[in-house]
Amino acid sequence: MRPTTGRNFLFVPGPTNVPDRVQRAMLVAMEDHRSSKFPDLSSSVLEDLKKVFKTQAAQAFIFPASGTGAWEAALTNTLSPGDRIVASRFGQFSHLWIDMAQRLDFDVEVLDVEWGEGVPLERIDELLRADKAHRIKGILACHNETATGVTSDIGGLRGVMDAADHPALLFVDAVSSLASIDFRMDDWRVDLAVSGSQKGLMLPAGLGILAVSQKALETMRGATSRRCYFDLADMIAANASGYFPYTPALPMLYGLREALDMIFEEGLDNIFARHHYLAEGVRAAVTEGWGLPLCAKAPHWYSDTVSAVMLPEGTNGAHVIDVAFRRYNLALGAGLSKVAGKLFRIGHLGDLNELMLMGAIAGAEMAMLDVGVEVAPGSGVAAASNFWRANDPVPKRKVSKEQQFYEAHSTGSVQG
């Protein structure tokens, strides 16, 4: 039976830990979302989300939904049934976006890629150069595929589209990368960027977030896909005065306001550096300590928000996850679809630090030992510790003998 004492160690790649500050911010009395005060909140979060997407020109939208809702909003507001789009499939979430597009009656050309790799730039380049009539209306790309721990090169994809001089819209799933891995909407000229509240934004699930370029907003005029709840035209009309076309998730908006404040206090570049530094420690635990491979096939694919740990043949990843949860109160991510049972995932994004990750590494290590995986006890923790101590971004503090005496005297430990 799972322990009931202590805190649950949540290390799935979403939902992530919600900071105490954000939880407190959401403990608000209900209020009138049509009042003259409400736009102070709504307009501020919509404007500040643009800074997280690194855009000045795009418009941000918030739906009471998940990232899946934002996927649907992106597709249906800019495309018409039968439009041809190109999408790469290299994990469960890129697959699900493709499945949605097919069910919405778009003509999807699927590029299947080995799971553990990312967006295939060369194959997309060939398709775009061959498309002289510009029948391809959109390119779908998953920036960070959490099922396999793979991050794709969106800047490189934009370069391929520019080299082919192709006008297709660039759709990007940034659900598990936004506010954790560098994302540059304007620099990469992303047309529709999809995200959600429960990952790098450090909130519970419940907000589908979408940023839309001016080019994509203009494309809406000719799009004939049926839509109602996710109609951006309704959002644009209501958001202009700071309101929503239906009841918004009020406590979540207060939480988002606090989360954005925390993000800006730390600074986006510092957040990206922290995630890379922490991820490198986890990768050291996996590859150097445990001697296990990652699902990501090469370092240039490695994700800074989730590591998918491949297990020896004959080991069921679901067993490791179950033991970690029941015995050690540790939640790890499961293998999905093609990689079900072959791996477990450690999420390392959002509000976390070295010692929190040490708990996840130690718990995963104990669970693996319990089910018979031959790893050296303490090896993962030692490898992560060695990396973080050797690459500590905080200068070591040297204490003088006088300071040592003063501190000892001030605590009453020195007898006069």
The single-letter code of the amino acid at 338 is: K
Tokens 């090896």 map to which residue?
379
DSSP 289: I
The arithmetic mean of pLDDT across residues 233-253, rounded, is: 97
Domains and CATH numbers, the chain: 9-15+267-390 (3.90.1150.10), 20-265 (3.40.640.10)
Q: Which helix (H) or strand (E) holds 347?
A: strand 343-347
Report whether pLDDT(150) > 90.
yes
At residue 82, the pLDDT reads 98
Determine the number of helices (DSSP H) and then strands (DSSP E) in the chain. Answer: 14, 13
Task: Tell me the DSSP string of 87-128.
Answer: EEE-SHHHHHHHHHHHHTT-EEEEEE--BTB---HHHHHHHH
For residue 404, the model assigns a pLDDT of: 64
Specify the pLDDT at position 285. Answer: 98
d(CA 106, CA 203): 32
- At residue 356, the 3 state secondary structure works out as helix
| b/e sequence 132-159, b meaning 16+ C-beta within 10 Å | eeeebbbbbbbbbbbbbbbbbbbeebbe
> pLDDT tens, 11-67?
999 999 999 999 999 999 999 999 999 999 999 999 999 999 999 999 999 999 999
Looking at residue 362, its pLDDT comes to 98
Per-residue pLDDT, averaged over 388-399, amounts to 81
- Report the pLDDT value the prediction gives residue 392, as an integer from 0 to 100: 84
Q: Report which of residues 127 and 413 the model is more confident about.
A: 127
128 residue type, one letter: L
Q: What is the mean pLDDT of residues 132-161?
A: 98
* Ramachandran sector of residue 401 (left: φ over 0; alpha: ψ -120 to 50; beta: rest): alpha
Mean pLDDT of 109-117: 98
Lowest mean pLDDT among 188-197, 215-224, 241-250, 399-408: 399-408
Contact 159, 128 (CB under 8 A): no
Query: What digits encode the pLDDT tens for the residues 343-356?
Result: 999 999 999 999 99
Cβ neighbours for 181, distance < 8 A, ≥ 6 positions apart: 143, 144, 151, 272, 275, 303, 304, 305
pLDDT higher than threshold 90 for residue 414:
no
| Count of beta carbons in the 10 Å neighbourhood of residue 31 | 12
The residues near 115 (Cβ < 8 Å, ≥ 6 apart) are: 90, 91, 147, 148, 295, 338, 339
| pLDDT surpassing 90 at residue 101 | yes
3-state secondary structure of 350: coil
| C-alpha pair distances (Å), 145 with each of 4, 148, 326 | 33, 6, 27
Q: What are phi and psi of 157, to 5 degrees?
A: -65, -40
Q: For 245-283, give the DSSP string.
A: SS---HHHHHHHHHHHHHHHHH-HHHHHHHHHHHHHHHH
Q: Where are the alpha helices (DSSP H) in 131-244?
A: 154-163, 214-219, 232-239
Of the chain, the percentage scoring pLDDT greater than 70 comes to 94
Residue 19, helix vs strand vs coil = coil
Q: Residues 295, 149: contact at Cβ < 8 Å?
A: yes
% residues pLDDT > 90 (the chain): 92
Residue 279's alpha-carbon distances to 24, 251, 382, in angstroms, are 28, 31, 15
Write down the pLDDT at residue 411: 56
Name the residue type at position 207: L
Residue with tokens 């999807």: 108
Residue 105: phi and psi, rounded to 5, are: 75, 30
What is the bridge-based pairing of β-strands 306-310 and 343-347? antiparallel
**Whether 108 contacts 94, CB under 8 Å:** no
Q: Is the pTM of this model over 0.85?
A: yes
Taking a C-beta distance cutoff of 8 angstroms, is the pair 229, 81 a contact? no
Positive or negative CA dihedral for 95, 98, 102, 108? Answer: negative
Q: In whole angstroms, what is the distance from residue 386 CA to residue 389 CA?
A: 5
pLDDT (tens digit, 9 = 90+) per residue, 286-344? Answer: 999 999 999 999 999 999 999 999 999 999 999 999 999 999 999 999 999 999 999 99
The predicted pLDDT at position 212 comes to 98
Q: Supply angle C-alpha 255, 69, 108, rounded to 5.
A: 145
Question: Is the model's pLDDT at 403 over the cut of 70?
Answer: no
- 177/410: higher pLDDT: 177
Gap between the Cα atoms of 303 and 347, Å rounded: 10
Q: What angle separates helix 250-266 from helix 268-283, to the nearest 10 degrees?
A: 80
pLDDT of residue 222: 95
Whether the per-residue pLDDT at 159 is higher than 90: the answer is: yes
pLDDT score for 393: 76
- What pLDDT is attached to residue 406? 64
